[in-house]
Amino acid sequence: MSYHGADPIVFEGVSNVTATPSVQLGTERVYQGEKYRYVYSNGQISPGYGAALSGTSGHSVVATGVVSGELCAGFVKHVTLTTGTYGWLLTRGVVDAYNGMTNSAPADGDVVYLATDGKIRTGKGAPATSATDFVGGCVLGKVLSAGASGGTGASLSLIYVSVF
């Protein structure tokens, strides 16, 4: 029997956050039909926020668009990754994500981009005014359940995300 290509055996949940790595950075796993990647957080990232790659390792992330042009590495789904910790990002699955558009609400079926602050934005609303308005510049998901305009208490939208 061959085990090549099998998922790694991981002895922790996808909501586990640690100060020291418990598995190899970049490890990917499937949990309840969703795909996750193990990363190092260079800044605090709360549930509902996407993370952009922030270093040369390919496994260090931040929830800010200061690193404009970077691709989305995934979304924090379960528990906050504080600065200097290790944890799991959702790379394929369903997550409640924060709306980054102040004057526009995502609608069912809208395609989603990563905004400059780790929130999401769609192709509608105020036009992008700089390269950092769309961090990765590529579609990373689709709205499944509409949300409210950003800046409100109900600015979460349920999205399906699929990132590299």
What domains appear along the chain, each with residue ranges and CATH number?
Answer: 28-162 (2.40.300)
Q: What is the pLDDT of residues 119-141, one digit of tens each?
A: 888 875 444 554 445 555 567 88
The pLDDT of residue 19 is above 50: yes
Q: Cα–Cα distance between 162 and 164 in angstroms, integer?
A: 7
Specify the pTM: 0.84
Q: Which of 64, 73, 22 minimizes the C-alpha distance to 43?
A: 64
For 84-137, where are the E strands, in sequence order?
Answer: 86-98, 111-114, 120-121
